[in-house]
Amino acid sequence: MKFTKTLKSMAFAAVLSMGLGGVASANTVIFDDAIAPALPSTITLKFRNYDMGTVYNYSGGATLEDTGNAANANDINNPLNITQQAIGAQVGSGGLEDTWGIADVRELFMPSNADDPVWSSGDLDRELTIMFYNAVDFITSTDGTSQYTSSKGMIIDIYESDSVVGAYDSSGGSANRTGLDSYNTVTDGTLVLRLMSEAGHLGASTVNPGGLDSEVITAFNPTASGEAGEGQGFFSVVGGAWANAFDSDIFAPAAQGYNAADIKIQFTTFSTTTADWLVSSEDPATGYVVPLPGAASMGFGLMGLVGLARKRRSA
């Protein structure tokens, strides 16, 4: 039986909960002109994404996991259990990727005007683009119909850039990837947010075979038409020009010894015929903007852009 690993696609039917300071970034136009004037406020972002994923073959059993020995019959990295590695995958901090992709933000909505966006892609001659990468699967199981996968190590980078020069373009597929964290027309602007997936927020269940170790979980039905997958994950803000505003630790972990998280993402995936992308989606993401104590005196200098160091662990 063959299944396609559903992407931690940034097709987010997502919930982003974040603490946002009350001062604007000196580095970005969208925050200054579209977001800051309406704070404090919730904010909804509409994304469109494309992504790649590994295709699994369950000949090794109904559960495949990282045993540390790829020669094991039920090891997730056993070549016999992999029909196709994610196209264009690169080696990240946890090994060869199982998920990566790109997205762009189409619109931003705020409650002051729920029907009309406060910003749309191209307004102010600006765009917001996203690259997600570095994610590896460590366990996957099937009930004969759907595939349930737990992953870790996902990084999401969000950029603001000029929408006139070098505008976002997904038509090149994997050919336009230029590095682990770089893609033509996506990563050529100012990094406004870097997010890193966090463990300790998702309890063990049928849809989460990895339990508390899971950082992103997905359920995928390869035979479904139209909507074929869904999932969720928790993330911490670790860098970018908007980092001080969005670093809220609003989500407490489900157990001691894990980090609090700033953002919760829920997403839905669909099949696509664009270039060589595996799936795509277009869904809203909602953020809860909560000013932090003393935020008015905070600066917004670009931070955390070097390395992938995690925030300090909770006591």
Nearest alpha carbon to residue 238 among 159, 307, 314 = 307
Could you list the pLDDT tens digit for every one of the 315 residues in the chain? 333 333 333 333 333 334 344 444 445 899 888 887 777 777 777 888 898 998 888 877 789 999 999 999 999 999 999 989 999 999 999 999 999 999 999 998 887 677 889 899 999 999 999 999 999 999 999 888 888 999 999 999 999 999 888 889 999 999 999 999 999 999 999 999 999 999 999 988 888 999 999 999 988 876 666 667 888 889 999 999 888 878 888 889 999 999 999 888 888 888 788 999 988 877 666 555 544 333 332 222 222 222 223 333 333
Using the CB atoms, write b or e for 40-66: b if 16+ within 10 Å. Answer: ebbbbbbbbbbbbbbbbbbebeeebbb
Place of tokens 């997958």: 229
Question: H-helix or E-strand containing 285?
Answer: strand 279-289
Q: Which residues contact 85 (CB under 8 A, 6 or more apart)?
A: 54, 96, 98
Distance CA 180, CA 235 (A): 19
Question: H-helix or E-strand containing 30?
Answer: helix 29-30
Strands (E), 223-278: 227-239, 263-271
Q: Do residues 31 and 66 lie in contact, with contact meaning Cβ atoms separated by under 8 Å?
A: no
Q: Evaluate the omega torsion of the peptide bond into residue 40 and state whether it is cis, within 30 degrees of 0.
A: yes
Q: Do residues 108 and 126 lie in contact, with contact meaning Cβ atoms separated by under 8 Å?
A: no
Distance CA 68, CA 95 (A): 12
Distance CA 190, CA 156 (A): 14
pTM over 0.75: yes
